[in-house]
Structure 1
Amino acid sequence: MDDDFAKSAGEIVGSALCGKGGEESRKKARGVRYRPEYWSLVNLSIKLSELSENWRAVAGEPLASRSAPAACEEDGGRFVITVNVPDQMVLSSARFRKARLEREISAFFGGAAVSVDFRVGPIRTPAQPARSAPQKVYRRAPVVNGEEEIAERAKFFLGGGMSPELAGAMARVMLSLEKLSKRRR
């Protein structure tokens, strides 16, 4: 169990998909056509999500708030990480931090060979939900009650023994409900 704790999410998912016996026993047991490129894509996706979750710790605050990892590819045993930045000004300053960022990402992946490419593009962080379109709010016109109407209805409640303030409030509520029910929907 301690071995699972030290593994990355990609290694755990890979071992769960292939089983303890490896890929050969999986092919024989299920009769499924095994394609290793699918599992490598799953592994790359998991590594990119791990990097995205820990981006602030890996990239450092000046760069982390103005950038986000966008893509992860494997090219000859080397991870190529594409990092999006919002504009050209940030792009030129980020290029000065490229070597440091490559060292940090390499350390995050346990010493793997890493190359970083910067490009101008949208920045999406895991904590930032997609914006939804604002919902329309339909409001009705306010109900206007005259003082004479309120006084007339308040007499009904005063006859029942209510206090004058409560009778006035109840008269306003009663008139408002009556007027709202007469309106067309």
Structure 2
Amino acid sequence: MEHRAAEVEDAPHATWWTYAGIDQTFDSSRINPTADLLGVLHDYAELVPADLPAQLTSTVLERLEAAADDLNAFRCAVMLGAARRLPEQVRARVAGVLAAGVHRVVNVDPAAWPRYVLQPLDVAPSPRSTLAGVIDRTAIDANLDYWINGLPADGAWPLTWSWADSDEMAWRQAELDGKGHQIVERLTVLREYGRI
């Protein structure tokens, strides 16, 4: 295990993604990215040990319910809830977590959107999304307008986080990768809402 820890620490990474002190940093990775990964395990259940998704599901759901007001935990719950092959009883429980926390966690104030916050479209990327009917449609429309009107001339929205202070050269590449991912994600959302 110590060898693996050294590999993690030596690779370029954000200051908050460290192995050292993981219990304090990410509460032993209880939610982020565990909930996202659980969704993948359900979607590709035939590729993993048969009992693994079931073993992890109840623990992850309990931890999600306990951390439902945390921005990153909420984002992970959204991703888990979007898993294609999630059992319906699990999907219903995740939907309950999302419905209970959406108005506390999602920021509907456009003045806050340049910062690291959950925007309406982050949790309702399609009109068919679980939370699309829960979030006020005026907030969704305002967020769509914000994305369209805020697109810089270079065609890449700015990221709302950075770890350039810990490794500027590695961050340059990570920023390009992050912006590329965000472009695809946002263009997909804009298409889902009929804006492109």
Common fold by TM > 0.5: no
| TM-score w.r.t. length of structure 2 | 0.25
Which one has the bigger strand percentage? 1
Query: Could you say which structure has the greater relative contact order, defined with CA pairs below 8 angstroms and 6 or more residues apart?
Result: 2
| TM-score w.r.t. length of structure 1 | 0.26
The structure with the largest alpha-carbon Rg is 1
